[in-house]
Amino acid sequence: MRIAVVGAGWAGLTAAIELTIAGHPVELFEAGRVAGGRARSVTLDGRRLDNGQHILLGAYRDTLAMMRHVGADPDTLLDRRPLAVIDPAGFRMQLPTLPAPFNVAWGLLTASPICLGEKLATARWMQTVKWQRFQVDPDCTVAQWLDAAGQTGPLRQQLWEPLCLAAMNTPAERASAQVFANVLRDSLGSHHRDATDLLLPRVPLGELFPEPALRWLQARGCQIRFRHRVRHLSTDETGVAIDGERFDSAVLALSPRHLAQCLPEVDVPTTFEPIATVYLQYPEKTRLPFPLIKLSKNVGQWVVDRGQGMLGCALSGHGDWEALDDAALVHALHAELGLTEPLLWHGVIREQRATHACLPGSSSRLPRSPSPRLALAGDCCYPEYPATLEAAVRSGKIAAARLMASAPHSAPTPA
Ligand SMILES: Cc1cc2nc3c(=O)[nH]c(=O)nc-3n(C[C@H](O)[C@H](O)[C@H](O)COP(=O)(O)OP(=O)(O)OC[C@H]3O[C@@H](n4cnc5c(N)ncnc54)[C@H](O)[C@@H]3O)c2cc1C
C-alpha cells in the first residue's frame, strides 16, 4: 500500500504527518532542495533568513497544534504578544490582556487619535457583524462592506484596510468581505483572548515547522524525495501514477500555479498578488519601539524587529512600490524608518506570485479533484481563509482525512 504526497510545503507536510499518524506509509515528493515551500528558510549572503517575512496569529489553531505534534514548541519558537497596531506617525491601538471581548473593547476605546463618536460607531458595527454571525454578501469587497457600514473615518485607513492587506495580501478594494469577516470572526471576534495575539517567529521559518516535520516523518519511515518535480500524473480506479510510478492514492499539495501544471483540467485561482521582503541590517543594538510597526507612507507596510539589528519589511499586494528597483526600495524604506544608525547590509526578496488574490466569490471556485484516489491540498484549497499558513495546514489535514475516507486502503500499521 503506497500513498504519495506531492509538495513539501506546510500543506503537504501536514498531509504526510496525518497519513503517517493513521499508519499509512507515505512517500513525499518535493521539487526543491528544502521543505517549507513559500514559508521556508533561505540563505542570503551567509545570513539565514526567510523567503518572506511571516506573521502568525493566536487563531492559527491547527498550525500551532501541528508544530507541537512534531516537537516544535510554539511557546519557545514564537514571540507571543497582544495585538498592537502602532504607526510611529501617530496611530496606536493596543489590546490589553483582559478576557475577550473586553480586550477588543478596551483596545478600541483607547485607540488614538480617534474621536469617541467613531469608536462608538465602530463598536456598534462590530456588534452588528457578530449578531449577523459574520455572514456577508459573498460578492461584496471589503471596501464595499466598510462603505455600507459607514466605516469611512480614520479607523478605516489606520486599522481595517492595513489589517485586510496584511491578512489577505489583497487590498480592500478587491478583497473578499466574506473571507475578511471569517478572519475577524476567528481573531477579534473570538471568545478566546489569545486568538488575537501576534506570534512573531523567533527562529528562521524552517525551524518553526518544516525541519522538525521532516525529522518526525523520517523517524517514522517516510521516504522523502527532494529535487523530484512531478511532471506526469494520471488517475484510474485503482490508483494514481506519478511519473510512471504506481501509488494507491495521492495528495497533491501545490500552489495554484503548480497545481495547474500537474492537473490542467482543475479550476485554480489565476489572479495573484506579490510580496516583497526587504531585510535591513543595522548595528546589533538597534531596536524598534515595538517588534511590529506599521509604516504610514506608501512604501513599506509593516516592519518586524527580528533582533540583533535586523529588520524585515513586508510590502504586500500590488502597489507603487513595484515600480521601484531594489536599491530605490531600500533607500525609501531606510528613509521612512528614520533611524540614525547606519545601514550595514540589505537584501530584497520579491515573490511576484506570493499568494492568490482573495477575491469575492473565490470560495465557489474551489479546485476539485478529478478522482477519489487523489486529494488536493494547498492554501487555495481552504476557501474560508486567505492564503496563509493556517489555510495550508488545514487544507493538508482535510485532504488526508478525505483520502482516508474515500479510498480503500489495507489495514494501516500504527505509527
Ligand atoms: C513572501 C510571503 C509572505 C507571506 N506571509 C505570510 C504571513 O505573514 N502569514 C501567513 O500565514 N502566511 C503568509 N504567507 C502565505 C504562506 O506562506 C502560504 O500560504 C503557505 O506557505 C502555502 O503553503 P502550501 O503548502 O499551500 O504551498 P507551497 O508553500 O507553495 O508548497 C508547495 C510545495 O510544492 C513544491 N512543488 C511545486 N511543484 C511541484 C512538483 N511538480 N513536484 C513536486 N513538488 C512540487 C514546491 O517546491 C513547494 O515546496 C506568505 C507567503 C509569501 C510568499
Q: Which atom of ligand 1 is nearest to the CA of 395?
A: 26
Fill in the amino acid letter for 332: A
| Residue 85: strand, helix, or coil | strand
> CB neighbours of 45 closer than 8 A, spacing ≥ 6?
345, 347
| pLDDT tens digit sequence for 284-309 | 999 998 999 998 766 558 999 999 99
| Residue 395: strand, helix, or coil | helix
Which of 254, 321, 350, 394 most suits a substitution to test ligand 1, by most atoms within 8 Å of the C-beta?
254
| Residues of the chain predicted below pLDDT 50 | 410-411, 414-415
Find the helix or strand (DSSP H, E) in which 212 lies: helix 210-219
Q: Is ligand 1 within 6 A of the CB of residue 32? A: yes
Quote the pTM value: 0.96
pLDDT given at position 415: 47
Q: Is ligand 1 within 6 A of the CB of residue 205? A: no
> CB neighbours of 126 closer than 8 A, spacing ≥ 6?
104, 108, 188, 189
Q: Is ligand 1 within 6 A of the CB of residue 54? A: yes
Q: CA–CA separation, 308 vs 130, rounded Å?
A: 42
Q: Is ligand 1 within 6 A of the CB of residue 118? A: no
Report the relative pairing of strands 374-377 and 272-281 from DSSP bridges: unpaired
Determine the distance separating the centroid of ligand 1 and the alpha carbon of 339, expressed in angstroms.
Answer: 33
Q: Which atom of ligand 1 is nearest to the CA of 53?
A: 3
Determine the distance separating the centroid of ligand 1 and the alpha carbon of 394, expressed in angstroms.
Answer: 13
Beta bridge partners of 201: 78
Q: Domain limits of the chain? A: 3-39+59-73+203-270+361-406, 83-196, 272-356
> CB neighbours of 313 closer than 8 A, spacing ≥ 6?
53, 277, 278, 279, 280, 295, 300, 301, 302, 303, 304, 333
CATH architecture of the domain formed by 3-39+59-73+203-270+361-406: 3-Layer(bba) Sandwich (3.50)
Look at ligand 1, atom 19, and give the residue with the nearest C-alpha: 388
CATH architecture of the domain formed by 272-356: Alpha-Beta Complex (3.90)
Q: Is ligand 1 within 6 A of the CB of residue 42? A: no
The helix-helix angle for 177-186 and 161-168 (nearest 10°) equals: 90
pLDDT given at position 362: 78
Look at ligand 1, atom 33, and give the residue with the nearest C-alpha: 7
